[in-house]
A and B are shown apart, each in its own frame.
Chain A
């Protein structure tokens, strides 16, 4: 399987929020509801969080404000996702791809994962529980198109705190794998792969670094590019 960088597949332009994409695709959203949508899901101003010393309390308060903000138009909840056009088997595909992703169906939607997620804290549009629901509903295309699946910091707080033992980290990895196979891999990871084939490490070996290691009397590094190339081609990458 040859992995293509995002954009190379021809449809990787989407930077918008996946649910919004879904709404647009269904022709259900007019300009006003998109406006309301962006208003409700505006970034929490990072500087405001930072300036406040009691981050946690402030964060909760901001969220309450954000959700209860009066909107002039049609609220988002009135625009249901039409399940009929979605791939209902997507969650089974995800669960079957990796043993640790099996607990996918045990989710209670309690939201503990999102509450503890550090990325969600600074970037509320990244929402583990929401992504899990999208997997459940079969919103495969929206997930693949979105940049958000690649924003996971891999801290694994979600699975650490999940009362049902759902391993969101592994589940998201499966989704990322499937997205990569479909041609949506971000260029950063693709170029890292190329680098690995050359040196066996994710960074190029620059002369200044080599010189610095010599100055510090640290042993020279061996180039394992050939070995890594063989391994990666064995793995089918």
Chain B
């Protein structure tokens, strides 16, 4: 496994120690789990994630054998859903890599499956029996983390701050964590506090942008109800958008493709369906925001032109 030269020699890295993480973990390798939605519907998220990973020295390894995480299939058959997640875990294990996912839902499904496989021998046996025709075996060896969590834990807001190339101070944003980034708490080892989350606030603050607190911070985007009830999904997303209407934020910052589909892609539909005036509130994915702060080209490196509603007017001050 790759990694910091000092860490490889068992020497504590001063930069890492300053962050309280002990060893510096720059240059570490991860298996990238793209999921279904991001590469097809939100490719700018993937583009930005790959750019910041290159810039920060995190190696993202693409494993083509990975498929859907199974987070929707647990609705029809819990075990089948867990088996789909286990298949992906097994592929990463084969390569000896821990996994990093872009989507909150995928992170949750994979981490939950790993937790179940570790704690439930019967289930583990069943899964491995079903995986054997594919030539795979799943032990649940390596953790699965969300990209933002990797940035928070392995790089740290403090070190990000030292790498900034562009001054984004003056911007005000509303962070949106997304449910599966925080819950279930036990599966994520108490990484962040689900009722009072701080990590995305800190990651945003590291870019120089100020992150506000607001009443509906913890509200679900409703994305998972979209296939079954557009009414429920739009109502939920509408509550947050309406809450943000008079907060004078420049944009929403989030870290999940499903949340982006609700607040970004569907923003106009929501206003129309609920009979409310349009919002025109740009939505950025965190890697896009971080990329901007790190000096990336907004269009070629971060795909900001693909975001709906367009955030390009925010960039006028740089030109």
Contact = CB atoms under 8 A, between A and B. Distances in A.
Interface of A: 3, 46-47, 49-50, 53-56, 97-99, 118-119, 121-123, 126, 147, 150-157, 159-160, 170, 173-174, 176-177, 180, 185-186, 188-190, 192-193, 196, 200-203, 205-206, 209, 212-213, 216, 218-219, 221-222, 224, 227-228, 230-232, 234-237
A176 B75 CA distance: 6
Contacts of A174: 78
Contacts of B159: none
A173 B77 CA distance: 8
B232 A160 contact: no
A46 B303 CA distance: 35
Given A50-B276, A123-B235, A180 B179 contact: no
B315 interface: no
27 contacts: A46-B274, A50-B239, A97-B78, A118-B222, A122-B239, A150-B229, A154-B179, A154-B224, A155-B179, A156-B180, A157-B183, A173-B75, A173-B78, A177-B75, A185-B76, A190-B76, A203-B36, A209-B41, A212-B306, A216-B43, A216-B44, A224-B64, A224-B65, A230-B134, A231-B84, A234-B133, A235-B80
Interface residues of B, number: 69
Contacts of B94: none
B180 to A, nearest CB: 8
A118 B239 CA distance: 10
Contact of A200 (B68, B76, B183): B68
Contacts of B130: 231, 234-235
Q: Which 3 A-B pairs have CB atoms at the shortest separation, nearest pair first? A: A188-B227, A235-B80, A200-B67
Interface of B: 36-37, 39-41, 43-44, 46-47, 50, 62, 64-68, 71-80, 83-84, 87, 105, 120, 123, 130, 133-134, 179-180, 183-185, 194-195, 215-216, 218-220, 222-225, 227-229, 231-233, 235-236, 238-239, 242-243, 246, 274-276, 303, 306
